[in-house]
């Protein structure tokens, strides 16, 4: 069968050959055995409903074995034989160009070069899934190949509920992931209901098909590192940045450190992902011995090198060793997946990667104790450094939250509302006041032709647009404009593409609309093929996350999720090609609500109309909320937006004289 025929076939009526478990692939850890015997029967029954009855007798024992061996039913047998990668949009079968673009993005999220655990359909973060099993993938791709622009595909946490009649201005796909009743959003609830096959963790951009590899976070991390050094009034050259994690999101840190110009030390316990990042040249050197690492760091300091060093081992050892050897860390953070602490997101110090994976599945209570013990040690080592002047910030991965739950010494001596912890979230100190409040966030695009020359053209267009905007930009946002122009000019030479021909930069509403408008014009003129627009959920408006995206909201509303819900509803009727809303992305199940979109630009007048309507809302919804919280930069930004658009009328806060209080 051709690739197109396999897509159109969907779930085969005859059993394909059994797929052998490939040990060379980076696999998800075994999940805890959380289901009772009756629940296991239900999980198998749920899985079998995707298949015709004559296949059930053969598949039942196979699915039971997967459930016993891995804690989930992935349906490995149904993994496609074709190469999983984003193809040019013309390679996909279908009646709708928008649907073809979504197929392209789904495959990009599962590309072996992009996905963390591709055979388990997990893109990043340890549990951020595009689908829960391969039947869902096959059926979704089949539906997309059949849909017209008068239909909408409805996705229930990885499950394609079906194609429904709609209209051409409606989203082609509406995605929800993990939208639980609030009292059922504890970590074990995810384990249970995911094992039953009725919900999944979409992370931020995995389950919304908008992940573009580590590049998606490189830019934000670069800005964070640059501004962290600015905050301590130090040049990055010769400065030391210590962190951990080389996975889907965290793998961006060494590359970002190199772009910023510092010495980056990033610890990772998983040898496979460490090798992948080294092979991709996202890290320069790998070390397994602490003494050798210390000597190399001192040499790099002396020579003021720009270099990224991976330590294959636990980051707690690095913090402790550097404290003992008096190695001064300038800035520090952590990007292990502590939103998922008991299932592979964080590995305890003092035992091997393999021992941890075994304990995680076979003795989860002991594993939890070991993780919490490690977190206490981790925090204590960080405290030793900060007492000597290190600037430490939480990278929004729930490090401080989980450390506090473990009883670590991370709470502020004099806590205030929104500043409970000893150390700030990076959004509180850096990204919130410097970027999000002004509307700057991670705007991204993908060239559906798959041609590197199209990406180069879009880079040039974006740079030209930003330089033109900068000429008349107010002083308040000049630094943001300079950083982004510098970024886009260096994007090609930094070889950031992994998977699809994609790019990201931080832009405000004006920048996003003008860049998108210029792309659409270039498509119409035949200069480039069609382009998919999107953004990270980690943005101005899309995410309500009290310990990350909205951690610099101090009016008491940071635990509300109205903004994210309004955002996705507003995007859906203003022209998005697809929309998504998730529970749990980035910081943990039950800790955040986050939403995103995708939009296909095809050179048409309809696309031009939609991009102007939707992108303006997508940013200014968040600025208005931040303004109402009395954030100074957001008040400035929303007033500027109202001047530019007479139809925008936002409720502004009246500020209270503090002395009256």
Residues 472 and 540 in one domain: yes
In this structure, what CATH number is given to the domain that contains residue 462? 3.40.1770.10
Question: Is 346 contained in some domain?
Answer: yes
- Taking the chain (661 residues) in runs of 10, the rounded mean pLDDT of each run is 97 93 91 95 98 97 97 97 97 98 98 94 93 98 98 98 98 98 92 97 96 84 92 95 86 89 96 90 94 98 96 98 97 90 92 94 94 98 97 89 96 88 91 94 96 97 96 93 89 84 95 98 98 96 94 95 98 98 91 97 98 98 98 97 97 97 93
First-last CA distance in the chain? 74
Q: Under a CB-based contact definition with an 8 Å cutoff, are residues 318 and 265 in contact? A: yes
Per-residue pLDDT at 397? 79
In this structure, what CATH number is given to the domain that contains residue 368? 3.40.50.10730
- For 531, phi then psi, to 5°, come to -130, 135
Question: What are the Cα distances from residue 634, in Å, to 65, 410, 507, 642, 651?
Answer: 54, 30, 15, 12, 12
Per-residue pLDDT at 203? 94
Per-residue pLDDT at 416? 84
Residues 38 and 121 in one domain: yes
Instruction: Report DSSP state, residue 528.
Output: S
* Paired strand residues for 241: 264, 331
Residues 440 and 519 in one domain: yes
C-alpha neighbours within 13 Å on the C-beta side of residue 155: 32
- Domain interval for residue 40: 3-125+132-138+151-196
Question: Is 595 contained in some domain?
Answer: yes
Question: Is 399 contained in some domain?
Answer: yes
Domain count, the chain: 3
Per-residue pLDDT at 552? 95
Is residue 203 a known part of a binding site? yes
* Segment (H or E) for 634: helix 632-644
Residue 621: closest CA among 440, 439, 431: 439
Residues 489 and 418 in one domain: no
Residue 520's region, left for phi above 0, alpha for psi from -120 to 50, else beta, is alpha
Per-residue pLDDT at 248? 66
In 3-state terms, what secondary structure has residue 364? helix
Q: Under a CB-based contact definition with an 8 Å cutoff, are residues 28 and 344 in contact? A: yes
**CA 576 – CA 572 distance, rounded (Å):** 5
Residues 303 and 394 in one domain: yes
Residues 440 and 420 in one domain: no
Residues 191 and 231 in one domain: no
Per-residue pLDDT at 218? 85
Is residue 126 a known part of a binding site? yes
Q: How many helices (H) and strands (E) does the chain have?
A: 22, 19
Residues 187 and 218 in one domain: no
Residues 47 and 158 in one domain: yes
Question: Is 475 contained in some domain?
Answer: yes
**CA 398 – CA 335 distance, rounded (Å):** 9
Per-residue pLDDT at 497? 87
Residue 280: closest CA among 306, 243, 246, 314: 246
Residue 215: closest CA among 505, 512, 3: 505
Residues 227 and 360 in one domain: yes
Question: What are the Cα distances from residue 480, in Å, to 85, 476, 633, 638?
Answer: 34, 9, 13, 17
Is residue 395 a known part of a binding site? yes
Question: What are the Cα distances from residue 434, in Å, to 423, 543, 553, 616?
Answer: 18, 17, 14, 20
Is residue 36 a known part of a binding site? no
Question: Is 145 contained in some domain?
Answer: no
Question: Is 419 contained in some domain?
Answer: yes
**CA 593 – CA 621 distance, rounded (Å):** 15
Per-residue pLDDT at 192? 97
Q: Which residues contact 658 (CB under 8 A, 6 or more apart)?
A: none
Residue 500: closest CA among 464, 539, 448, 546: 448
* Paired strand residues for 442: 506
Q: How far is CA 210 from the centre of its chain?
A: 9
Is residue 622 a known part of a binding site? no
The dihedral sign for the CA sequence 130, 136, 141, 144:
negative
Q: Under a CB-based contact definition with an 8 Å cutoff, are residues 116 and 124 in contact? A: yes
Question: Is 544 contained in some domain?
Answer: yes
Q: Under a CB-based contact definition with an 8 Å cutoff, are residues 278 and 266 in contact? A: no
Question: Is 171 contained in some domain?
Answer: yes
**CA 582 – CA 156 distance, rounded (Å):** 11
Residues 330 and 414 in one domain: yes
Is residue 125 a known part of a binding site? yes
Residues 166 and 308 in one domain: no
Give the other-Cβ count within 10 Å of 36's Cβ: 10
Question: What are the Cα distances from residue 308, in Å, to 313, 351, 393, 394?
Answer: 15, 25, 19, 20
């Amino acid at each position: 069968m051709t690739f197109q025929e396999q897509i159109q076939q969907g779930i085969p009526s005859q059993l394909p050959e059994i797929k052998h478990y490939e040990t060379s692939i980076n696999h998800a850890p075994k999940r805890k055995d959380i289901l009772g015997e009756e629940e296991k029967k239900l999980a198998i029954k749920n899985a079998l409903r995707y298949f015709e009855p004559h296949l059930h007798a053969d598949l039942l024992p196979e699915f039971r074995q997967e459930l016993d061996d891995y804690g989930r039913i992935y349906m490995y047998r149904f993994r496609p034989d074709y190469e999983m990668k984003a193809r040019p949009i013309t390679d996909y079968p279908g009646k709708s160009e928008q649907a073809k673009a979504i197929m392209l993005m789904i495959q990009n999220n599962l590309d072996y070069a992009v996905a963390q655990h591709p055979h388990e359909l997990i893109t990043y973060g340890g549990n951020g899934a595009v689908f829960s099993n391969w039947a869902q993938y096959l059926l979704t791709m089949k539906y997309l190949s059949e849909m017209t622009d008068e239909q909408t595909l409805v996705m229930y946490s990885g499950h394609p509920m079906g194609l429904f009649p709609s209209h051409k201005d409606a989203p082609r796909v509406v995605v929800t992931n993990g939208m639980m009743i609030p009292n059922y959003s504890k970590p074990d609830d995810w384990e249970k209901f995911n094992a039953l096959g009725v919900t999944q963790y979409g992370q931020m951009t995995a389950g919304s098909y908008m992940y573009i590899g580590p590049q998606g976070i490189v830019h934000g991390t670069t800005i964070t590192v640059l501004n962290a050094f600015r905050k301590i009034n130090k040049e990055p050259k010769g400065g030391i940045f210590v962190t951990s994690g080389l996975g889907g999101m965290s793998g961006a840190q060494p590359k970002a450190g190199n772009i910023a110009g510092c010495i980056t030390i990033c610890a990772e316990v998983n040898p496979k992902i460490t090798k992948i990042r080294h092979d991709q040249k996202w890290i320069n050197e790998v070390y397994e011995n602490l003494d050798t690492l210390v000597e190399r760091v001192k040499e790099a300091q002396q020579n003021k090198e720009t270099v990224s060093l991976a330590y294959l081992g636990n980051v707690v050892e690095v913090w402790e060793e550097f404290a003992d050897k008096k190695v001064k860390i300038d800035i520090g953070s952590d990007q292990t997946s502590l939103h998922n602490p008991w299932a592979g997101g964080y590995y305890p110090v003092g035992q091997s990667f393999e021992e941890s994976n075994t304990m995680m599945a076979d003795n989860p209570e002991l594993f939890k104790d070991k993780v919490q013990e490690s977190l206490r040690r981790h925090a204590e080592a960080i405290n030793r450094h900060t007492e000597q002047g290190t600037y430490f910030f939480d990278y929004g991965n729930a490090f401080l939250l989980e450390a506090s739950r473990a009883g670590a010494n991370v709470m502020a001596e004099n806590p205030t509302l929104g500043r409970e912890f000893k150390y700030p979230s990076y959004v509180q100190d850096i990204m919130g006041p410097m970027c999000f409040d002004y509307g700057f966030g991670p705007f991204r695009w993908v060239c559906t032709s798959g041609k590197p020359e199209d990406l180069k053209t879009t880079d040039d267009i974006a740079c030209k647009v930003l330089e033109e905007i900068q000429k008349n930009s107010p002083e308040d946002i000049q630094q943001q404009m300079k950083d982004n122009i510098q970024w886009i000019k260096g994007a090609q030479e930094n070889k950031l593409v992994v998977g699809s021909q994609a790019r990201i930069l931080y832009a405000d509403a004006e920048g996003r609309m003008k860049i998108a408008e210029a792309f659409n014009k270039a498509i119409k003129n035949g200069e480039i093929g069609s382009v998919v627009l999107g953004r990270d959920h980690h943005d101005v408006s899309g995410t309500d996350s009290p310990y990350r995206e909205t951690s610099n909201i101090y009016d008491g509303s940071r635990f509300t999720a109205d903004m994210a819900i309004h955002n996705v509803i507003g995007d859906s009727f203003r022209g998005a090609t697809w929309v998504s809303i998730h529970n749990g992305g980035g910081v943990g199940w039950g800790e955040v609500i986050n939403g995103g979109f995708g939009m296909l630009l095809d050179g048409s007048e309809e696309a031009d109309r939609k991009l102007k309507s939707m992108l303006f809302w997508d940013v200014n919804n968040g600025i208005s909320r931040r303004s109402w919280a009395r954030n100074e930069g957001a008040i400035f930004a929303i007033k500027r937006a109202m001047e530019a658009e007479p139809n925008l009328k936002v409720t502004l806060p009246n500020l209270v004289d503090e002395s009256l209080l």
